[in-house]
Each structure stands twice: as structure tokens, then as C-alpha cells.
Structure 1
Amino acid sequence: MTTRAPAPPPAEVAFPALGTTAVLLVTDPQALPAAEAVLRAELSAVDLTCSRFRPDSELTRVNRNAGDTMTVSAPFAEALQAALRAARLTDGAVDPTVGRAMTALGYDRTFASLHPEDARPLPPAQPAPGWRRIVFDPRSRRLRLPPHTHLDLGATAKACTADRAARRAAAATGCGVLVSLGGDLTVAGQAPDGGWRIGLADDHAQPATDHTPAIAVTSGALATSGIRVRTWQRAGRILHHIVDPATGESVGPVWRTATVAAATCVDANTASTAAIVLGHRAVDWLRGTALPARLVDLDGNVMHLSGWPPDSATTPGPTPGDPR
């Protein structure tokens, strides 16, 4: 009788990207360089296309020309369509036209560059112009934003990048791949025995412990949205990066974190962000989607929806959290 040698543990690399941390794991350690090259290429492309903070990005050019009709690139069109789909599926709870509101709140540069305490007064909050006012033809890629409208494609573009990079890396290497961008993650290829062990926490950058709840993922994606990590002070108020399009202000605190599982990272991210924006209404809305979800309120009470398994503490791997 012969016995199969145990598979080597997944190989991992992590590095700063898109204002957060990119983490890549592969089941075949020899495939790590090739998979990393794929991921870095995807990250470079989306940063040049969709960054709010680069003066040379396509998004900056589009926002600068709001009110005019222009032709956008195919990558930008793909990112915009994902953002518009998210807005449609959430009835505007996740809306790409919150760019000016983000800037008004003080999130006008990379998070690492923000002043943690800013004494400048806050300008009066204004609702986002609304995604329905965007005129876009996917076939010609002709786009017209309403005047004075700025897009923010960060969350959905990041999630799309995770999905695309995982698929491409798995196809290039033939092994199992996990890509996590700021804790929003997607997997592709054959998962390791027992699945990818994923820790659940407010902040993906914090080291996991034996008491960290964890879940096994064999396919699809997870995304976590929360209000505790990307925070700053402005005029004496504590603000965070998730904006309610209806008010133009940081969402009022109801859920500390919302984690959602879906077939793709972009769908998981859309649902987790919508849950934070919807507040108490998120429970019924998430049940309507039938997506497994885990909500944590401000006191740390946990609610599981649509078949999310009970929390179990075990030594986990990458930790979702810190959504962009």
C-alpha cells in the first residue's frame, strides 16, 4: 500500500497596493512568481485606470470633464459597468457618484496620507447626484457625467481586480489561487484540502489568534465592509469612508462589520457595502438576496443569515476586513 505525501502548505506573498494590502496565496509554491506577476499587472492597470488620487489616472480625467461627453477605455468601461450594476442591484445604496462627498469629508488623498485629526470645518453635506443621471453607452463607450459630478469606483474596481487576477493567475499556473485586496478576497482553481481557512475580523491587518472566528472557503469570494478601520477626525467628528449617497455623509453606525459570501468578489463587496449603508434594513435586504452573511453590531453581537455557518475558532489564514 502506498500513501500520498502531504501537500506542501500554500505559498504566500503580501505587499502594499491600492492604498491597502494585497495578499496572494497559491497551492503550488513554485507557481508563486508567475501568479504574483499576474496580480501586479492587474493592480498596476486598475490603479492607472480608476485611482481617485493619481492626477494621471483615467478616472481623474473623467471627473475633470464632468458635463462633457467623452469616450472611455475598455478597462474603464468595465469598471464603470460593475459600479452601475452595483448601484442598480442595491437601489442606489452603493452609488459611484459619491466622489465629491468623499472629498468633502476629507478623503481627498490616499488613506495613508490623511491627517488623523483635521480642524477644518466640514462643508454642508449634499446628497450624491445619483447613478441614474449618468449617460453611458457600453457599445460605443461614450460617457457623460452630470456637471460637477465625481465618480468613486474604488470598491467595485478593487473587487473586480481581485476576481480577474485570481482567474488569470489560476489559468496561468494551473494551481489553486487566493487573492485578497484589503481583505476582500476571491479564490480560483483547486482549493487546498479542507479549503482556504479565512479569519473573520474588523481589520485584515491584525494578526489572527486561536480565538479568531474562521471559515473555510473552497470557491467563490468573501468581502467585508466596516466602519472601524478607515476612520479620521474632521472638525471634531469621527468620520469613515462608507458614504450614504442619500445624505453625502458617513453612514450612521449600526453594523460594525458586514461579511458576505458570493460567487464573485464584486457581488460580495456590493452586498457587504450595501449592508453597512442600509443599517437596520440590511437584514431583510440580505435575506432577499439569499447570500450568506455575517453581521456584527456595535456591541459585538453576531447575526448569521442565509446559511452562514456558526462561528468556529481555529488557526486561520487571510483575514477579511478594511475595505477600501
Structure 2
Amino acid sequence: MTTTPLKHRATAATEWRALGTTVRLVVTDPALLDSCNLLLARHLAEVDAACSRFRPDSELAALDTTAGRPVRVSPLLAEALDVALRAAEATDGAVDPTVGSAMDAIGYDRDFTLVREDDRPVRLTLRRTPGWRTVTLDRATGTVTLPAGVRLDLGATAKAWAADRAARTLADTAGCGVLVGLGGDTAVAGAAPAGGWQVRVQDVTGPVDDTPAHGAYATVGLHSGGLATSGTTARRWRRGGHELHHIVDPRTGLPVRSPWRTVSVAAATCADANAASTAALVKGAGAEQWLTRLGLPARLVTRNGAVVTTPGWPTEAGEAAA
């Protein structure tokens, strides 16, 4: 599942990889592409050093050894944690940053390219995650208190938050329209191209030209905020006869069993959109009503490919999604 920015006239784009995913930067002033890309690379390197669960030298990994003691963290990690905790509260715990140990238990304890190559057996055990309320973030002092044995995973929010932060910073610095895409998370800032940023929401992995047209993708115009797609079809692997994926249900500590294979949401920020799309997978049946109550335009695709949309999601290519 991806959200892919399409080409516009009088824009420039570049694509590379960071944070274990594809990075795409598009600007409305081609002369500023290189300088914006340098700033983006620096920003994502800082996010990785602060928030990575896979780097033993990251700030997040250092919290594993704090054993309930308040620890001062950098403003960057404090902001990322704040976003994660707010997402947990807004989704009634469906998106929970304390799933780190559960992710390790199912074998997702390293970069995904290495996870697929790993043949270690896993033992699936039903266990509720510790819960986001066990984490204390003192925003005034910039300290975090994490109970012993609790491991954090910011995968459901950090990339989307990083895209939001980068898009705002680059637009303010460069004074042009900016789109930042990190895998399935897209954030825009500054003045959008005429008709909005055309973004293709793709339900399956691989080039769009290789996918069936019906139900496989939709194209929307994004004028502000963010758009995110979460799904259970892309990051999948097998261990000991088990088919696994990376969306964990905090109530069970196991990969979620959802009637939806992908959910795409547009919101005021990419972080809000990604929290809602992930939560919809966890909530399962009735998620479309939950998204409707929140006033979030969304596109949900069932396991058999049927498409369900909420009010506000465009029905024609190019309509505004946000």
C-alpha cells in the first residue's frame, strides 16, 4: 500500500530511501530542490537517531535501560513521544506506542529487509500490551518515565510526524510549495500547485501500471495537511508456518485480524491521518462509522477488494481530499 505523488508541471522531484522506506520530495520551485533535499536528509537523519527502534545507539533504545527512572530526552524525541501519546488517546488506545516488545516477539526487531530474510521461529503468545498510560512524558521538563520491561515503538506515528515537520520546515525556509512522502505517509505545506497535489492512493504494492485498475488505486488532490495509507498487505513475512504483518493489535499483542486490507485517510496533519488509518485497521468492523464521526475522509478496502468510502473522500480523480 502506497501514496504516490504524481508529476506536475513546473515542479521538481527526487526520490531516495531513508527510515526503511521510500522518501519522495516534490517542490514547486525546481531551483530549490537540491537545497530542500539536503535539509530533508539532515532532518530524517536526526529523526532516525532519536526514534529508531532498530538502532542500539538511538535515544529511544536508551530508554530500555532506564527501569522506571525519569530521564531527560531531546526536544525532538519528546515531540515524537508527545505525538504518539496524543495518537493513543485520540484512538482509544488502538494505536499504542508500548507495542515494542510485541513487535520483537513476532520477529519485527530489525529493518524490514532483514526481517524477511530471517528464519528464526517465533512463538505467538496472546498478551495485552502494557498500555500508553504507563508512559509518563513531562512536557515542562522534557523527561520521560518508562516502567521496567516496557519497550516503545513509534512506527505508527513517527514517519508521518517526520513528514509533517519536514514539509512545514522546508516550506517556511524555501518559501515554496513542498510535498514530503515517506512510504505511505504524505504531508504538504506551502502553496499547492493548481488543482492541488495529485496523489495516487494505491492498494497494492508494485508499479501502478502493473495493477488492475478497478479498486486498485484512486487519485486525489491534496491542498493541505496530510494523507496516509496503512495496510496489512505490504510488510508481510512467514515464520514457522505463520503469516505475519506489522500492524499489531494492542489488545492481543499479535498481528491484527482485520476485515480491511488497507485504509487511507486525509486529515489536518499526516500524523493524524496515519493514526486514524492504523486505528481503523485495529478497530476492524465499524471503522468506517468511527472515521465518519470524526469527520475524516477515508477509503477502506476489504480483503476481497471492495471499496468503502466516508463522506468527503473524492469520487472523481482530482477532487480535493483535504
TM-score by length of 1: 0.90
Contact 1:116 1:233 in 2 (8 A): no
Contact 1:66 1:145 in 2 (8 A): yes
- Tell me the alpha carbon deviations over residues 115-155 of structure 1, each in whole angstroms, 9 at most, x when there is no partner: 35635141423211001111221111222112200000123
Corresponding residue of 1:22: 23
Contact 2:135 2:147 in 1 (8 A): yes
| Secondary structure in structure 2 of the residue aligned to 1:129 | coil
Q: Structure 2 unaligned segments of length 5 or more: list them.
A: 1-7
Contact 2:205 2:234 in 1 (8 A): no
Contact 1:260 1:292 in 2 (8 A): yes
Deviation at 1:206, TM superposition (A): 2.8
2:97 is matched by which residue type in structure 1?
Answer: P
Q: Distance in 1 between matches of 2:257 and 2:117?
A: 20
Q: Distance in 1 between matches of 2:24 and 2:152?
A: 27
Deviation at 1:8, TM superposition (A): 4.2
| Secondary structure in structure 1 of the residue aligned to 2:23 | strand
Is it true that 1:63 corresponds to 2:84 in the alignment? no
Count, aligned residues: 307
1:183 is matched by which residue type in structure 2?
Answer: G
Contact 1:24 1:180 in 2 (8 A): yes
Deviation at 1:311, TM superposition (A): 5.1
Q: Distance in 1 between matches of 2:64 and 2:207?
A: 35
Q: Distance in 2 between matches of 1:208 and 1:174?
A: 34
Corresponding residue of 2:3: none
- Summarize the Cα distance change of 1:123–1:280 in structure 2 as closer, same or farther, 3 Å threshold: closer
Corresponding residue of 2:234: 229
Which of 269, 277, 293 is 2:274 aligned to? 269
Q: Distance in 2 between matches of 1:298 and 1:115?
A: 22
Contact 1:182 1:204 in 2 (8 A): no
Deviation at 1:271, TM superposition (A): 0.4
Corresponding residue of 2:5: none
Q: Structure 1 unaligned segments of length 5 or more: list them.
A: 1-6, 315-324
Corresponding residue of 1:321: none
- Summarize the Cα distance change of 1:97–1:124 in structure 2 as closer, same or farther, 3 Å threshold: same
Contact 1:199 1:208 in 2 (8 A): no
Q: Distance in 1 between matches of 2:290 and 2:67?
A: 33
Contact 2:288 2:309 in 1 (8 A): no
TM-score by length of 2: 0.91
- Tell me the alpha carbon deviations over residues 28-53 of structure 1, each in whole angstroms, 9 at most, x when there is no partner: 11110111112111101100000001
Which of 192, 216, 223 is 2:221 aligned to? 216
**Which portions of structure 1, spanning 4 or more consecutive aligned residues, are displaced by more than 6 angstroms?**
none
Corresponding residue of 1:320: none
Contact 1:231 1:238 in 2 (8 A): yes
- Tell me the alpha carbon deviations over residues 225-268 of structure 1, each in whole angstroms, 9 at most, x when there is no partner: 00000001122111100100000000003101100000101100
1:17 is matched by which residue type in structure 2?
Answer: A
Corresponding residue of 2:134: 133
- Tell me the alpha carbon deviations over residues 133-186 of structure 1, each in whole angstroms, 9 at most, x when there is no partner: 112211112221122000001231111110111111111211111100012101
Contact 1:101 1:125 in 2 (8 A): no
Give the stretch that moved more between structures: 298-307 or 113-122: 113-122
Corresponding residue of 2:151: 150
Superposition pairs of residues 277-288 of structure 1, within 5 angstroms: 277-288=282-293
Kindly report the root-mean-square deviation, in angstroms, between the aligned alpha carbons of the 2 structures.
1.8
